[in-house]
Chain A
């Protein structure tokens, strides 16, 4: 499907879904889906395109989140600029650690990235004086909503963040789709298929991996920043191991090789726990069973498998 059709469907869904929201609470969940979706898009690029695993990407989300919490408080930086600062910082750190780490393959790479994520989470937890430690810290208001109000456009906090995160997700999806069919994206997918063949075609494998790692770090960082800004409060959980695992699971379950698949995975795994709360004690069990079943029968992820099945029946 062409890039613009995919983006149009995503935009239409984001715009139309609120019609079915029974209460304002659903805007919050929607925004959470989008925020997770942005981080997952980064992993689609890293895992799905370039074939490199990271179990520490929540570390970059943590950097983005705490940049938005700390920079305004410490240096009086505007929160929007703090988001940019977090992204630049994440890109820089990713470029620095990516060089040695990406020489590793498979589970060695998984463990190394895992270590990075834990390092960031520990730092945030231990710097109590600065970050409030495990209790977390407050985040300054972005201020954009007041600006809209002054312009005569009154929106609730939920609606506002639904819109902002929705637009951010659209931009992220546009970038990921651009990349996918560009020379850089093709080189990433090629090295995923065969590193040795890619090298004989003149592809600088180490560089392409690093580019994928840096881009995915920026996506995770922006996701963390948006989470901090909309919640107005942030705890070290954003950088935690569980969050890293969640993000990877979303990407793989939805279909890591596909941009829309990743977003779909983020939506499913953000919404399912909400839906399954009716099962009370069995929530986790059912969630686990669903995930295992999907991976057994649809190893390429939900969306690509469904799309393939539809194509086959049409033939």
Chain B
């Protein structure tokens, strides 16, 4: 049984099938990438899996439990965390507080205790703070902990979103273009981080435009085109698939193939 099982998932926006009958699975410790041209439905698929959109058809199973249509705040305690393609940072909070917010489920207590500043609040806050600090160091933002998040660069904010998602202590992590807008060095770092997380047993579902990154780190690639799954398999196999090259990869595909060597 896989950690995440997506079966026959579909949604229609105003008569347009944005995602149609998509199925795949993500086992623990594996990196599964979803690729496809712009408008192929990758982010829509993500939004259905993470509960942001209500799927029109199909099912989502998390660890064997059906979670189709569950809201994101119900999915988080079950171990699903995600990042966003268009950053969703708490801009007016400090970098540290952004990461601490990720500990919400583990640091929350009674509202009364919070209002009265009881010692239990401090205990929980210290736990969350220490944990958040470790995660920030892991994504190399430790030095910027006290900075207001709005002052960070795009690449740094991408990493902050990963740290915040990790604070949820996920079993499965959905990363929506984590390397977009990052330079070569930053992309390498994110690449290494993702591989490391998978090594720790976290299942990773990745949407990424950087073909080099996808082909290098994925165990399994799912190709979408106009909302439909047109191919899936190991990266080497998918990148050789003529249908994939024709439908999507095109010039990029040549590049990717060369990169593969």
User: Which residues of A are at the interface with B, using a C-beta cutoff of 8 A?
Assistant: 3, 174-175, 178-179, 181-187, 189-190, 192-194, 196-205, 211, 215, 257
Contacts and interface: CB of A to CB of B under 8 A. Distances in A.
Contacts of B52: 196
B116 A178 contact: yes
B227 to A, nearest CB: 22
Contacts of A199: 51, 71-73, 76
B101 A190 contact: yes
A202 B73 contact: yes
B121 A183 contact: yes
17 contacts: A179-B115, A182-B125, A185-B114, A187-B101, A187-B104, A189-B93, A193-B91, A194-B90, A196-B52, A197-B164, A199-B51, A201-B73, A202-B77, A202-B104, A202-B105, A203-B101, A203-B104
Interface in B99-142: 100-102, 104-105, 107-109, 111, 113-117, 121, 124-125, 128
Interface of B: 50-52, 71-73, 75-77, 81-82, 84, 88-93, 97, 100-102, 104-105, 107-109, 111, 113-117, 121, 124-125, 128, 164-165, 167-168
Contacts of B115: 175, 178-179, 182, 184, 215
Nearest to B105: A202
Contact of B90 (A182, A184, A193): A193
A197 B125 contact: no
A202 B104 CA distance: 7
Nearest to A181: B125
B116 A203 contact: no
Contacts of A194: 88-90
Given A190-B90, A196-B52, A205 B73 contact: yes
Contacts of B165: 200
Contacts of A198: 101
B13 to A, nearest CB: 18
Contacts of B121: 178, 182-183
Contacts of B82: 200
Contact of A183 (B50, B84, B92, B108): B108
A202 B76 contact: yes
A200 B125 contact: no
Nearest to B97: A186
A183 B88 contact: no
Nearest to B168: A201
A201 B88 contact: no
A275 B93 CA distance: 36
B73 A186 contact: no
A183 B101 CA distance: 8
A201 B109 contact: no
